[in-house]
Amino acid sequence: MKSPMLYAGRVAHIRHSPFRHRFDYRIWMLGIDLDRIDELAARSRLFCHNRFGIIAIRDKDHGFRDGSGLRGFVETALAGAGLAEYGAKIIFVATPAVLGFSFNPISFYFCHDGEGRLGAVLHQVKNTFGDQVGYVMPVTEGGGVIRQTAPKSMHVSPFFDMQGGYRFAFTPPGERFTVSIQYGAEVKRLTATMRLYARLYSDGALLRLLAQMPLTPMKVLAAIHWQALKIYMRGGKFHKIPADPHLAIVAGESE
């Protein structure tokens, strides 16, 4: 992937149980080498790093969420999973903060070794209750669609319990970036898909995306709450947040 890149497209959610419910919305994301974020901020009039701006990546919104650097967060996760060699180059894909507001249901860290080989992916998932979990998983060589599995560790939707796990299938960010996440065990409970298409970063391209999809993080959060209300009105069973804490980083497997 050339870095930095802008990715724009649609996200869709399909709930298969206890009844079918589907919605989708438009989204855009930024893909960038973690080691080049400050370089982009220095040459862009719109993009900022760790300060307020029209568009910004703020370390406090990601990683450990304590303001520490994102590289350290990823390296810690990789080391804990025995994948430290893949911390040479890390491509971060997320929706930046817009006018100081940030919300990412999921962001990605694509981790490469010194020869540029993709060997691990860290998926950082956030819920609307302010919690998060990172799923770090190896990548099997061979290219094509990457398939990974992980146990469910964090309460995400109040209309699902903690049973089951996740199956990820995705293509690394390039000319396009596609992701499919299936939740469930013996019975499929939810499928989330993301289909995004790339364009080279420029301030002009970013302005066009802002005109087409203004205030994206706010709209995503509003859409999630609106759909939750609709599910509740249809009789969806509400599950409270579990009292037991979960691990910050959970190891998954490659299929």
> pLDDT tens-digit profile of 104-120?
999 999 999 999 999 99
Distance between the two ends of the chain, CA-based, in angstroms? 23
Question: Rounded to whole angstroms, how far apart are CA atoms 136 and 149?
Answer: 10
Please give the angle made by the CA atoms of 106, 233 and 237, to the nearest 5 degrees: 65
User: What integer pLDDT is reported at residue 143 of this predicted model?
Assistant: 65
pTM of the model: 0.95
Two tokens, residue 26: 């438009």
Helix (H) or strand (E) holding 219: helix 216-233
Please report which helix (H) or strand (E) contains residue 254, including its range.
strand 253-254
Residues of the chain with pLDDT under 50: none
User: What span, in angstroms and rounded, lies between the C-alpha atoms of 78 and 63?
Assistant: 13
Q: Which pair of structure tokens corresponds to residue 118?
A: 């993709």
